[in-house]
């Protein structure tokens, strides 16, 4: 299930990069992208189940040749343990959004209902605003942001995409 189209045009690619959990690794990886003119659309880093390792989820765009170059360059970095292209397999993807929306008391029930439809949670209530937390795919997050625009978005913050390959399912069980 490659995310590269037949015309070799740029597409979104999600890379899972397992790295040693050491100071400077993030700067080294980001510097490699910058030095070679590759763009990072999203980058999330966190510790793994092994405290000596961290996992980076990097979203980047490019054609087949660009993606292959990125993979090769990442592989040359000493602190990089493993590089996987999550775009080539079924994955669970999530983004986290915190959004503060203008909401006078008379509109609160409307926004609470909208939040429930998207399976979000109101995490803070102010006199004229709400802060809502929402997790989901990028498309879901973008759709929620769009329906909040008419209320007035005061501020928002997103984590960036995290992803994990789906576990294989055995057939016939």
| pLDDT (tens digit per residue) in 38-51 | 999 999 999 999 99
Check: CB of residue 140 under 8 Å from CB of residue 87: no
CA 30/CA 17 separation, integer angstroms: 12
Nearest residue to 102 (alpha-carbon basis) of 119, 136, 125, 135 = 125
**Is 92-164 in the same CATH topology as 11-89?**
yes
Cβ neighbours of residue 157 closer than 8 Å, sequence gap 6 or more: 97, 98, 99
What's the whole-model pTM score? 0.81
Q: What is the pLDDT of residues 121-153, one digit of tens each?
A: 999 999 999 999 999 999 999 999 999 999 999
- For 11-89, which CATH superfamily applies? ACT domain (3.30.70.260)
Beta bridge partners of 17: 56, 83
Sorted by where each begins, the domain ranges of the chain are 11-89, 92-164
CA 51/CA 160 separation, integer angstroms: 22
- For 92-164, which CATH superfamily applies? ACT-like. Chain A, domain 2 (3.30.70.1150)
Q: What is the pLDDT of residues 50-108, one digit of tens each?
A: 999 999 999 998 888 888 999 999 999 999 999 999 988 899 999 999 999 999 999 99
């Amino acid at each position: 299930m490659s995310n590269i189209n037949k015309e070799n045009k740029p597409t979104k690619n999600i890379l899972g990069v397992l790295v040693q959990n050491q100071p400077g690794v993030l700067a080294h990886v980001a510097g490699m992208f910058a030095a070679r003119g590759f763009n990072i659309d999203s980058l999330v880093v966190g510790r793994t189940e092994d405290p000596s390792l961290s996992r980076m989820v990097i979203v980047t765009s490019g054609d087949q040749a660009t993606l292959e170059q990125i993979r090769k360059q990442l592989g040359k970095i000493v602190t990089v343990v493993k590089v996987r292209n999550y775009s080539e397999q079924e994955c669970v993807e999530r983004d986290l959004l915190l959004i503060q929306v203008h909401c006078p008391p008379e509109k609160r029930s409307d926004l609470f209902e909208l939040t429930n439809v998207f399976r979000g949670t109101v995490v803070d209530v102010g006199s004229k605003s709400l802060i809502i937390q929402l997790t989901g795919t990028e498309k879901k997050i973008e759709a929620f942001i769009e329906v909040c625009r008419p209320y007035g978005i005061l501020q928002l913050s997103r984590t960036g995409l995290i992803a994990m390959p789906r576990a294989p399912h055995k057939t016939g069980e």
